[in-house]
Structure 1
Amino acid sequence: MRAGAFLARPATAAVVLAASLTMGCAATAPVPRPSAAPGGQATAPSPAALTAAGDFGPTDVAWVELMIPMDELALRMLALVPDKSPDPDMKRLAARISTAHRTELVKLRQLLLRSGVPETNPHQGHNMPGMVTPEELGAIGRTSGAAFDRLVTEHLREHLMQSVVVAQGEQRSGTSEDTRTLAAAMEKTRSSQLADLDRLAG
């Protein structure tokens, strides 16, 4: 699959993620809301975000709370690759991305701890763009061979693309310097991973 072949859903999903990042996720199916203030600052932050400590603002907390489950579920998908993919290059790429995600998760959890916000998953059960759902994991797990690689490539591309979108939103609207720094590093890493995935899929 070429790089542009899976862009239709993420183009809309980018709007949804931007809204959920700055507005909080208040429904089982996130809906874009046009009420965010100019510059992407939140006009209705989640109650948890309002209690954040230090320089952590609503956008910082929303980004960390979103990225943790996104990475956790992506790791569950990537864990299937060694046994199910017939492609050695796919296996190597999945291993590299998994290692990077695990490193990022340590830093994300440290930031959440420093923010003072309870470690909960406000996106539990939500079908968020870029987040592999348990149902999708089940469908991926029931395939193998080339069909498995195609599904993983599609979901991984969407995950990486949306990670870039929300990392950019955090850099624009976040108030925590450490969180914005991590977002910048993750944007760079995910963009590189996307390029690697596109070369593999091409």
Structure 2
Amino acid sequence: MVTTLVAVTAVTSCTGGAPEEAAGTAAPESVVVQPGRPGEDSTTVQPEDFEATEPEDRWNEADATFVSDMIVHHAQALEMSALAADRAEDPSVLAIADRIRDTQGAEIHGMAGWLQGHGLPVPVPLEGGDGSGPRVPAEHDHEDMPGMLTDAQMAELEAATGAEFDRLYLEGMIQHHRGAVTMSTDLVGAGTNLRTQELAADIGAGQLAEIDRMQEMLDGL
């Protein structure tokens, strides 16, 4: 968003010498004109009241909560997808699990960088002690987060193999993706950071497409 500085100056007399302020004339005054978002009017503020931070640098609690929660949300998707390596029967299930691990693993590192860049804590270790990727902390109350699988669902998925695993994985990941779409939609209008808004839009669009694909796969089992 471009900000325009408009100087409003009182009319003064002109003489051949140095300019003199006319008696009773107010000193020149400057105001900052902030253009509104599309469809909104511009506003004017005094320079001392203007926050010069660019939109891409601004953030609020909604942005920080979204990024932190989405890291935890993604971490469970990585745990689910890691199980597919020695449990999935359908090659297409293994393929989409690998894709989710690659995509969401990269997004976790990007979101962690955003938190660290703003002096905020990262909610999960980026590397497990056994060399695995991020994992949901055992003490995290993740079941209140949209789409997250319960401990019982995760245990059932871990115990399954073959066609049963494929079914449970697809059902669980569709549920999980729908939760991520809800979280992304909720950020719109609540956050102020351009990067988190773009991230939410990308996550929402990408996971909606994967939901459609996984539903087709589930219907074909």
TM-score tier after normalising by the smaller chain length: 0.5 to 0.7
CA distance in 2, matches of 1:81, 1:138: 14
Q: Quote the RMSD (CA, aligned, Å).
A: 1.9
Structure 1 residues 1-202: aligned runs within 5 Å = 55-120=58-123, 124-128=140-144, 129-202=146-219
Question: After TM superposition, what 4+ stretches of structure 1 lie above 4 angstroms from structure 2?
Answer: none
Paired AA for residue 83 in structure 1: D
- The separation in 1 between residues aligned to 2:149 and 2:118, in whole angstroms, is 26
User: Larger strand proportion, structure 1 or 2?
Assistant: 2
**Aligned residue number for residue 45 of structure 1:** none
How far residue 125 of structure 1 moved from its aligned partner, in angstroms, is 3.1
Maintained 8 Å contact 2:187/2:200: yes
| Separation in structure 2 between the aligned mates of residue 185 and residue 60 of structure 1, nearest angstrom | 15
Bigger radius of gyration among the two: 2
Q: C-alpha displacement at 1:137, in angstroms?
A: 2.2
Paired letter, 2:196: T
Q: Is the 8 A contact 2:71 2:111 kept in 1?
A: yes
* One-letter amino acid of the counterpart of residue 111, structure 1: W
Q: What amino acid is aligned across from residue 120 of structure 2 in structure 1?
A: V
Structure in which a larger fraction of residues adopt helix: 1
CA distance in 1, matches of 2:70, 2:180: 8
- The TM-score with structure 1 as length reference comes to 0.68
Which whole-Å deviations, capped at 9, do the CAs of 1:64-103 have from their partners, x for residues lacking one? 1111111111101100112101101111111111111111
Q: Could you state the TM-score of these two structures normalised by the residue count of structure 2?
A: 0.62
Q: Separation in 2 of the partners of 1:118 and 1:104? A: 16
Further displaced range: 70-79 or 140-149: 140-149
Distance, in Å, in 1 between the alignment partners of 2:95 and 2:78 is 14
SS of 2:169's equivalent in the other structure is helix
Q: Report the Cα distance in structure 1 between the residues aligned to 2:92 and 2:121, rounded to whole angstroms.
A: 39
Contact 2:174-2:214 at 8 Å conserved across structures? yes
CA distance in 2, matches of 1:115, 1:161: 28
Q: Distance in 2 between matches of 1:66 and 1:59?
A: 10
Residue 159 of structure 1: how far off its partner (Å): 0.9
Percent identity of paired positions between Structure 1 and Structure 2: 27
The 8 Å contact of residues 73 and 133 in structure 1, kept in 2 or not, is answered as no
- Greater RCO structure (CA 8 Å; 6+ sep): 1
